[in-house]
Amino acid sequence: MSIPSSSSSRTSHFLPLPPLPIRTSPPLYRKPTLITTYSHQPDRSITHDDSSMAYYRPAIIGSDLNYGYDDRVERDESIDEHLDGLCDALRGVEKGERRGGIITWRGMITRIMTAPYEDREGWEMTAIALDGSVYVELHDPPEVRAKRRNQQASWAKQSYMGYSYESFSTVSGEPNQEISEDAPEGWGGDVNTNVQWCNVVRSAIGDIPLCLGGEVDCVKAEPGTPHPGLDQCVELKTNKVIENEKQEFTFHKKLLKHWAQSWLLGIPEIQVGFRDDSGILRSQRAFETEKIPRFIASIPSPHPPWQPQPTLHFLHAVLHLVLTHALPTDPLVSFPKGSIHPENPLPPATIWRFAFIPRRGCEMYNVGELGVDGEGRWGGMLREDYVRWRMGSA
């Protein structure tokens, strides 16, 4: 069954943004617990190990972040991987997540959290209930991805500098990695954005369980040693050297996203490399993730760039809205686990969408039902083999 494209007659549920000066205590965010990890290899294939884990080593001040640009290998962004890596990781884990919650990428939760302070760009996400949980991903049609790639083309060099900083700041755990003899001191290897090391964690916002997957840049440990745990993970960021109050204010606003990304995945430290206009690394500064909100609050200004209370209130409210409407449409409510024969078609998924409207809030609506599409994805999102495994019909 196709998903209706018209929304003229849809029933929607609207959630307004919280007032930014809100002072009431938000729902607590539970400290993340590591469930499992996996690695994307240079060819983008997945291995369920830590082979792509990198080890932190401070970059050398004066490093040229333009180095290696022509030798970079970029991931094919036109391929929509959906939640495949996260779902594959969960298949190999016993009791990987608690029922009644959200399963998604860390990036999706970051977008929801930071929405109260986003006044320009909206977004839309898809939610599907299955086996007592709700899976959430970005609604990102091919035409939208193509437009974004065209927009990002003009920022390709600046984006590359972030990856270059990662290379200068890390050592690979692979002893046989080849590095050119002509490479500058501290270079960790050519940039290949196919390569990623992902951590999957269990957490909760208030009474809502979360199972999140996300990339981690590196860890503080001796090269070649096992995963030292979330407490030793490090996030790497770059920023232009701050030379005036306007640039300082912009950086303080960016710290909201940096804080949310690391806080959600339990990463305690963010290393920021400051580069000049020519791409030369001029300084570095470490930020303790949990102290960033206090740092922002200490800035002498009658209007701080952001506060954590609205972000956590909105996150909990949006996820509660999603669960309230999506969970009752879980097909396992009507089809007991194991009741569907492996050769029979799967019941359709009920597709929900929720959209963020800048400066207004979040709207949620039902867009229809969809079984397994032509690409073998149930509801256009989850692979059929994964859904059958979840429904006990594999």
Helix (H, G, I), strand (E, B) or coil at 54: strand
* Domain total of the chain: 1
Q: For residue 221, how many C-alpha atoms fall within 13 Å in the half-sphere facing its CB?
A: 19
Q: What is the pLDDT of residues 359-391, one digit of tens each?
A: 999 999 999 999 999 999 999 999 999 999 999
Would you say residue 275 lies in a domain? yes
Would you say residue 142 lies in a domain? yes
Would you say residue 233 lies in a domain? yes
Would you say residue 315 lies in a domain? yes
Sorted by sequence, the CB contacts under 8 Å of residue 369 that are 6+ apart come out as 1, 3, 348, 349, 350, 351
208-215: strand order across its sheet = 12-16, 361-370, 349-357, 123-130, 133-138, 102-105, 208-215, 196-205, 33-40, 46-47
Would you say residue 3 lies in a domain? no
Would you say residue 7 lies in a domain? no
List the structure tokens of 187: 């270079």
Predicted TM-score (pTM) of this structure: 0.94
Q: What is the pLDDT of residues 245-290, one digit of tens each?
A: 999 999 999 999 999 999 999 999 999 999 999 999 999 999 999 9
Cα–Cα distances in angstroms (integers) from residue 227 to residues 49, 54, 331, in the given order: 10, 10, 38
What does the CA dihedral 112, 202, 333, 386 come to, rounded to 10 degrees?
A: 100
Q: What is the pLDDT of residues 167-209, one digit of tens each?
A: 999 999 876 677 888 999 999 999 999 999 999 999 999 999 9
Domain range for 73 is 12-391
Would you say residue 6 lies in a domain? no
Would you say residue 215 lies in a domain? yes
